[in-house]
Chain A
């Protein structure tokens, strides 16, 4: 993370940004002090932005094509997308490339992000997920350009802001018994989960499905979703 900060500080983009920030530029509202010599310390703060700040960074990219805000998004998400893909068993170089493609797509599609519907992390996750699917299909057919391929219907109106809902989801996840939390995790991090999870856990596939259903129903109940 430090090398990223050093590199960011050395880049022309940063120098321009720090001047702009000092004069109420893009991310000034997120920096505790607008004075120039405090900006360097704040770059670290920006590298771990809160969920709300992440949403605002994307909005800044959408509205102003703001490169410094994009750099902050990159600093937060690229390492995490790479980390996630590595946990899926993707080779390091490929994970690195896919992480970069993900952030490039964030730049290109920033105006599609709706903070009322999803948190920034969820949105970035779906971008990375779609790119990963495209990778698997590339030899077969045309790549999917459509970020919203799985979003063909409008969502029902939500009473909660996405960030609040996400927080509650995180809390609810912690209340799950370990065997349920485990099958959820494995479903996410395994390739061909239906073949491998049952074998790995030494239980029938039907039992795996029951545990996932119990876990999801518990999460739905905690979030107040009617089913």
Chain B
């Protein structure tokens, strides 16, 4: 699978530093999980993190804390649950998206459904799966913040530009774009957006996600 469209270095850097809001980070993670190019950018970014950590002025830590930590060395860590994809989804989710409760399917307009991944919070940042039947244009909704899309199945066209499985669309706030699903079949994407989505479809997204 050839990946042609990647997140910007800026987004990967923010992802690497842990400073992206959770919904956005999940969708970036979904891309990085399967992209060697971005994985290298991630490692470069993490190396920068190591440099910044080394150059951080050391802060005094509670001297008694060392003894407390030493006494905890033998306690085993809690084991995390095994992460799986939901069974009623027509694809295996990338690792970054597993382990999250995926909401049930809700129809936005005929041919287009959404399933909540992360509910819209204080800043309206949310993440959801979106499925579009072949040829359907994704509903037009303005958004004040950035919107990130990772293609999981099928293909999207933005104008004449094709986004296939593994490709990533990054749209800054205020950008107008009207992607449509390719003719080959259903297109499923992971989408994260910030800011309050406008218009009728925006209203529905706010209700469902």
Contact A184 B13 (CB under 8 A): yes
Residues of A contacting B32 in the complex (Cβ-Cβ under 8 angstroms): 150
Q: How near does chain A come to B31, taking the closest CB pair, in angstroms?
A: 11
Residues of B contacting A129 in the complex (Cβ-Cβ under 8 angstroms): 16-18, 46, 49
**How big is chain A's contact interface, by range?**
35 or more
Residues of A contacting B95 in the complex (Cβ-Cβ under 8 angstroms): 149, 152
Asked whether A8 and B66 contact (CB < 8 A) given A84-B52, A141-B99, A170-B51, the answer is yes
Name A128's contact: one of B42, B53, B96 (CB within 8 Å): B53
Residues of A contacting B42 in the complex (Cβ-Cβ under 8 angstroms): 150
**CB-based nearest B residue for A169:** B47
Contact A104 B69 (CB under 8 A): yes
Comparing B56-64, B157-165, B176-184, B200-208, the segment that makes contact with chain A is B56-64
Contact B78 A4 (CB under 8 A): no
Name A71's contact: one of B14, B53, B66 (CB within 8 Å): B66
Residues of B contacting A20 in the complex (Cβ-Cβ under 8 angstroms): none
Residues of B contacting A143 in the complex (Cβ-Cβ under 8 angstroms): 78, 80
Q: How near does chain A come to B191, taking the closest CB pair, in angstroms?
A: 16
Interface string of B58-87 (1 = CB under 8 A from A): 111111111111101100011111000000
Contact A67 B66 (CB under 8 A): no
A124–B39 Cα gap in the complex (Å)?
18
Within 8 A of A (CB), among B21-54: 21-22, 25, 29, 32-34, 36, 39-44, 46-54
Contact B39 A187 (CB under 8 A): no
Q: Number of residue pairs across A and B with beta carbons under 8 Å?
A: 212
Contact B66 A130 (CB under 8 A): no
Q: Which of B10, B63, B101 has the most CB of A within 10 A?
A: B10
**How big is chain B's contact interface, by range?**
35 or more
Contact A188 B64 (CB under 8 A): no
Residues of A contacting B52 in the complex (Cβ-Cβ under 8 angstroms): 84, 125, 185, 188-189
Asked whether A216 and B101 contact (CB < 8 A) given A129-B18, A145-B77, the answer is no
Asked whether A121 and B61 contact (CB < 8 A) given A209-B8, A216-B44, A225-B40, the answer is no
A165–B48 Cα gap in the complex (Å)?
11
Name A133's contact: one of B9, B25, B69 (CB within 8 Å): B25
A93–B18 Cα gap in the complex (Å)?
19
A74–B8 Cα gap in the complex (Å)?
35
Name B66's contact: one of A7, A80, A126 (CB within 8 Å): A7
A17–B10 Cα gap in the complex (Å)?
46
Contacts from B to A (Cβ < 8 Å):
8-11, 13-14, 16-22, 25, 29, 32-34, 36, 39-44, 46-54, 56-70, 72-73, 77-81, 95-96, 99-101, 118, 145-146, 172-173, 194
The 5 nearest A-B residue pairs measured at CB: A122-B50, A145-B80, A79-B58, A121-B50, A83-B56
24 contacts between A and B (CB under 8 A): A11-B67, A78-B65, A78-B66, A79-B60, A83-B57, A83-B59, A88-B19, A96-B61, A103-B69, A104-B73, A119-B50, A121-B50, A125-B49, A126-B49, A137-B22, A141-B99, A143-B78, A165-B47, A190-B19, A192-B20, A194-B11, A195-B194, A223-B44, A225-B44
